[in-house]
Structures are given as C-alpha cells and as structure tokens.
Amino acid sequence: MKLELHHIEKRFDDKEVLKDVSFTFEEGHIYGLLGRNGAGKTTLFNCINEDLKIDGGEFFIEDDKGKRKITSEDIGYVLSTPIVPEFLTGREFLKFFIDINRNHMKEEKTIDEYFELMKIEESDRDKLMKDYSHGMKNKMQLLVNIIANPKILLLDEPLTSFDVVVAEEMKGLLKQLKHDHILIFSTHIMELALDLCDEIVILNHGILEEIDRHNLERNELKDKIISALKGEEE
C-alpha cells in the first residue's frame, strides 16, 4: 500500500505554508518528517487527516485494488498534545473504545493485555485519566490507535513527553508496527529521527524533500539534514 501526495498546497491568508508537497509513502517504513518549528509539519498532518481543507493538489491511497480516497478508518493520528476523556478511567476508556471498534479490529486482546502492551501499571489502570501525566495520556492515545489498527499512522512529536526508558520501549513498539503500516513520524529532534526512522524527509519552505541516507556516515547525514533545513544548496 502507498500514500500518494501530489502538489499539496495550503495557505492561511497571505501565508503559504505548503507550497508544492509531493511524496510517496510506502507500507513497511517509518518516515521521519523533519522541519523547524513552524515549518508546517502539523499543518501537513491536519491536511492528510482532513481536519484542514487543502487549497490545491490531491492525495490518495494506492493498494491492490487501485487508487482510492482516504477514509477515516485508514488514518490514525497521535497528537503532540494528547486529548483523552479525562472523566473516564483508563479501563473505562479502553472498554468503550473496544466496544465501538470491535467490528473492524484485527485481533482483540483483553483490556489488561492492552495495558501490558503499553507497560501501564496495574495501579494506574483504574485511575481517572485527569490524574494521568502527559506521558501517560500520550500512551493511551497511541494505544487506542493501535487498537483501531489504521493502515496509516501520523505521529506528531509523540515521544517527547516520555522518559528515556519509556521512549525506548515505544520506539521498539513502533518498529514492530511498521511491517504492515505506513508510519509518518513528525519531529524537530534529528537524533530521534535517525535512531527510529527508515527514511528521512525534510519540510522546508513549504516543500517536501527526501534525504538519501544511502552510503552516508551518520555525521555526513547530519550535515546534509542541517544543510537542507537551512535551505542551502548542496
């Protein structure tokens, strides 16, 4: 399966955020979407998720049945600031989410098995989510997207709220998920992208550019990424 973007444009009043974004994202890869703060990474995600209407271009899925429009079931979106129903406990939230998604779940586990997948302690499972830390809420947001099992997962700075140990656990989980999914991982932290992602794409001045990491040492790759982010010519 592929996610095809062709000449995507998005502007806000006179500011052109996305000028001509074209790229093909393929199943089985984690893509690191790098860019400076304000470069338009979240705007691009919101366009793909159809929270924002694009001003030009098109995007679609290509699979074994041909080209088709993206549906809500195709996309999972993990926001940088997690949004969860804080009046529910973690267990109540998972039960509700499983109940409404049961018909299209690939494989159903027990609620506690899902908690264990994300390494959420037993003592936290029956707490109101208003008492969860930012990192815990982020875990819950990622977990419900795993349960829904969309083919495309948009991850907007999802690991920045985790400590070192939990971040490593989550990276391992994402690497497992990539085999039958398209994962696009937005970050402004270069080292994180280099450690986790198979492919690196740069959003700079409204254009998306792939950085070829083939035959490049790590320091050479860093220099090339920094050069691209500055908009310098190679």
Counted residue by residue, the chain has a size of: 234
Q: Give the pair of three-digit tokens for residue 13.
A: 């009043």
The residue type found at 101 is N
Q: What is the pLDDT of residue 98?
A: 93
Q: What is the pLDDT of residue 189?
A: 81
CATH superfamily of 2-230: P-loop containing nucleotide triphosphate hydrolases (3.40.50.300)
Q: In tens digits, what is the pLDDT along the chain, a chain of 234 residues?
A: 999 999 999 999 989 999 999 999 999 999 999 988 888 999 999 999 999 999 999 999 998 889 999 998 899 999 888 889 999 999 999 999 999 888 777 778 999 999 999 999 999 999 999 999 988 998 999 999 989 889 999 999 877 767 778 788 888 888 988 988 999 999 888 888 888 899 999 998 899 999 887 767 888 888 888 888 776 444
Q: What is the pLDDT of residue 233?
A: 44
Q: How far apart are CA 215 and CA 131, in angstroms?
A: 48
Q: What is the pLDDT of residue 130?
A: 96
Q: What is the pLDDT of residue 28?
A: 94
- The CA-atom distances, in angstroms, between 107 and each of 63, 102, 144, 180, 207 are 22, 9, 13, 14, 38
Q: What is the pLDDT of residue 170?
A: 83
Q: How far apart are CA 108 and CA 101, in angstroms?
A: 10
Q: How many other CB atoms sit within 10 Å of the CB of residue 128?
A: 14
Confirm if 32 and 197 have CB atoms less than 8 A apart.
Answer: yes
